[in-house]
Amino acid sequence: MDREGRTRPDLEPKMKLSSRAIYGMRAMLALARRHGHGSTFLKDIAEVEGLPGTYLEQLMVPLRKGGLVQAVRGAKGGYTLAHAPAEITVLAILEALEGPLALADCPAGSGCCGRPEACALQELWDEGSRALNDIYGAPPWPLWRSASGSRKPAR
């Protein structure tokens, strides 16, 4: 924003998480709020969080395959966290939804420029990627502590 409070297009974030990652994090936070109180229907999460229900269904597949959520069948079915909230890191969620977190599409040693032996930026990208992984792989208690906040839990 500029001094008058107007948004400047040149200051908009260029590196950002996808809607898939953001919606997935919001769904996981909703499940964390309900942890220990039974399963939660996706339609309830969608309603409380203002998210598209069909999209949430798609997001649950990689989260389930990543071992982060469990599907519960039956009339009282829905989804629950597969582990206590304090055992789930932001990194685990993001990697389940998006794959490995990296600043540049430079797999170790290959170089995104096609010249890994001469890439002056490879170390910079690797260091930044390690920092992101360290931050989001750290114990997630601040995130999950907010799960007990004032928002009404889904179903």
Look up the pTM and report it.
Answer: 0.79
Q: Per-residue pLDDT for 106 more than 90?
A: no
- Residue 96, pLDDT score: 97
Q: Of 21, 12, 1, 3, which Cα lies nearest the Cα of 136?
A: 21
Provide the phi-psi class of 140: left if phi over 0, else alpha when psi is between -120 and 50, else beta.
alpha
Convert the pLDDT of each residue in 6-56 to its tens digit: 666 666 666 788 999 999 999 999 999 889 899 999 999 999 999 999 999
**What are the residue ranges spanned by the domains of the chain?**
18-100+139-148
Across the range 123-131, mean pLDDT stands at: 87
- Residue 103, pLDDT score: 83
Residue 82, classified by CB atoms within 10 Å of its CB into exposed (0-12), middle (13-18) or buried (19+), is middle
Q: Per-residue pLDDT for 132 more than 80?
A: yes
When comparing pLDDT for 63 and 87, which is higher? 63
CA quadruple 82, 84, 85, 91: dihedral sign: negative
Q: Per-residue pLDDT for 151 more than 50?
A: no
What span, in angstroms and rounded, lies between the C-alpha atoms of 8 and 16?
17
Share of the chain above pLDDT 70, in %: 72
In sequence order, what are the beta bridge partners of 71? Answer: 79
Task: Specify the CATH architecture of the domain 18-100+139-148.
Answer: Orthogonal Bundle (1.10)
Mean pLDDT check: name the lowest of 30-39, 67-76, 92-101, 139-148.
Answer: 139-148
